[in-house]
């Protein structure tokens, strides 16, 4: 997840030999470093997802990353790292919502299912719609949904700006587009009290300055991904009707 949306390049602090191998034990241990207590069934689904991603990638070139160690750090751990900060951001900015109620989220330009699949596994009560304009990626996502038995996931082959995708309390993206394009393409699908959340590499100061005046940047959250020696940030946005210009959000560390 780089600012220009180019493929991720391996750059990590190094995992132990056991953790470098895809396994439920490795996933559980790494999730624990993020403060996540995943159940065995969740770890098994994440493992199965990673194995499917690796297998399909050999034929369909879904991602530039295919080594076990990098799948763990750059895909699974990278996406699991947003779970806790995202939950906290939702509590801060949607305080009237019941956290136990189903949250409908849209993963814009889901690609290989990141972060939509890990989010749907970590939060089984959320309802996710994964959207991509590339048919082969949607075929992969449908296979993941089927083989993992993810009843809370739907897949849609569509262009975001043209399709009727319903209303969502959360719209997420990872290495998808510049912030101004992200909000522009998905605005019609955001609920009145909804939030946009974009996963980025370095803090995208230039992209924040480009936001339209009626979009408010609420905060930039600095993420800490164990064993990954790269910057990661989560950008939280929402509509701000009648605003004069973009705000500079506080940085949370």
What the block records as the tokens of 165 is 């995708």
Per-residue pLDDT of the chain (253 residues; tens, 9 = 90+): 433 343 333 344 555 444 457 789 989 999 999 999 999 999 999 999 999 988 887 776 666 566 667 778 778 999 999 999 999 999 999 988 887 888 999 999 999 999 999 999 999 999 999 999 999 999 999 999 999 999 999 999 999 999 999 999 999 999 899 999 999 999 999 999 999 999 999 999 999 999 999 999 999 999 999 888 899 999 999 998 654 444 445 545 4
Q: In this structure, are residues 109 and 145 in contact, taking their beta carbons and an 8 Å threshold?
A: no
Interatomic CA distance for residues 49 and 65, integer angstroms: 14
CA distances from 1 to 143, 201, 230, 245 (A): 24, 5, 10, 27
The full 3-state SS of 73-105, as one line of letters, equals HHHHHHHHCCHHHHHHHHHHHCCCCCCCCCCEE
Domain locations in the chain? 82-252
CATH architecture for residues 82-252: 3-Layer(aba) Sandwich (3.40)
Q: How far apart are CA 209 and CA 238, in angstroms?
A: 15
């Amino acid at each position: 997840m780089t600012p220009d949306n180019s493929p991720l390049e391996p750059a990590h602090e190094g995992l132990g030999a056991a953790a470098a191998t895809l396994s439920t034990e490795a996933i559980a241990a790494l999730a624990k470093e993020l403060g996540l207590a995943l159940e065995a069934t969740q770890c098994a689904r994440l493992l199965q997802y990673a194995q499917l991603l690796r297998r399909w990638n050999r034929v369909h070139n879904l991602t530039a990353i295919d080594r076990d160690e990098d799948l763990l750090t750059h895909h699974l751990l990278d996406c699991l790292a947003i779970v806790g900060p995202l939950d906290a951001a939702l509590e801060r900015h949607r305080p009237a919502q019941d956290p136990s109620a189903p949250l409908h989220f849209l993963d814009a330009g889901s690609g290989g299912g990141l972060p939509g699949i890990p989010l749907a596994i970590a939060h089984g009560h959320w309802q996710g719609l994964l959207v991509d304009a590339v048919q082969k990626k949607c075929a992969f996502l449908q296979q993941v949904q089927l083989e993992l038995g993810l009843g809370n996931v739907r897949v849609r082959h569509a262009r975001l700006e043209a399709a009727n995708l319903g209303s969502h309390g959360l719209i997420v993206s990872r290495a998808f587009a510049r912030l101004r394009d992200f909000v522009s393409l998905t605005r019609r699908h955001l609920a009145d009290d909804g939030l946009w959340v974009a996963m980025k590499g370095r803090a995208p100061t230039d992209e924040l300055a480009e936001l339209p005046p009626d979009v408010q940047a609420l905060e930039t959250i600095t993420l800490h991904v164990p064993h990954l020696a790269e910057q990661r940030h989560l950008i939280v946005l929402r509509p701000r009707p009648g605003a004069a210009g973009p705000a500079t959000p506080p940085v949370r560390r």
